[in-house]
Amino acid sequence: MKKLVFLTGAGISAESGISTFRDSDGLWEKYPVEQVASIEGYYRDPALVIDFYNKRREQLLTTVPNEAHKLVAALDEHFDTTVVTQNVDDLHERAGSKHIIHLHGELMKATSSANPNDPRCIVSLTPDKLNIEIGDKAKDGSQLRPFIVWFGEAVPKMEEAAKAAMEADIFVIIGTSLNVYPAAGLVSYVPRDAQLYLIDPKPVKVPYGLDIHTIQKGATEGMRELMEILLAQQ
């Protein structure tokens, strides 16, 4: 069975109504990145950052996976599929994808401020205990914080994602600007003989020398077209 690897970004979840950071009406227009998405911002004002992600979590509960998420999951039946996502939502999980690597953390989890990647300190949040409050403690006694990889922090799942990219027969990029590193660098790990696809309604600057089949459509329309292409090759 061929190995199919997706790299997904905010564009795939935007169709579910989740605000993106980078678009003109995105979250960064309202909140400077250094304020809510950097480790320095968290140290400066943990209450503001915790509240920001509490609101994102409340929004997430009102959204559902869109057709693009479901089509990605449907390809599990035909390929050995891995989803590498820059998104912190759980829409891929809810759509039915089984093997997901979250590069930038998971919104529905909380962790230790002192040791954010210690698995003993990572807890799942539920609809009846959705918010993190100042004073909530992790197992190591430190303040609970969102389980998010912020700017200024290492990306612990990068090695796992790079390994998946290196094994890909087909590599598909959906809804990401390829501006955020190290995630954008994953294409450099893809084997030369692998098929490369890019789905995005806007022009995306791709690394020089890569032979990428571009589908300039939104995530759902693009995934419909990709499904036809890939299943015709079966």
Residue 184 amino acid letter: A
Measured CA to CA, the distance from residue 102 to residue 222 in angstroms comes to 22
* Residue 104 appears among annotated catalytic residues: yes
Query: Looking up tokens 């912020």, which residue turns up?
Result: 150
**How many other C-beta atoms lie within 10 A of the C-beta of residue 134?**
10
CA angle 66, 71, 73 (to 5 degrees): 100
Helices 67-74 and 219-232: crossing angle, nearest 10°?
20
Measured CA to CA, the distance from residue 138 to residue 182 in angstroms comes to 28
Which residue is catalytic, options 78, 102, 104, 213? 104
Catalytic residues: 104
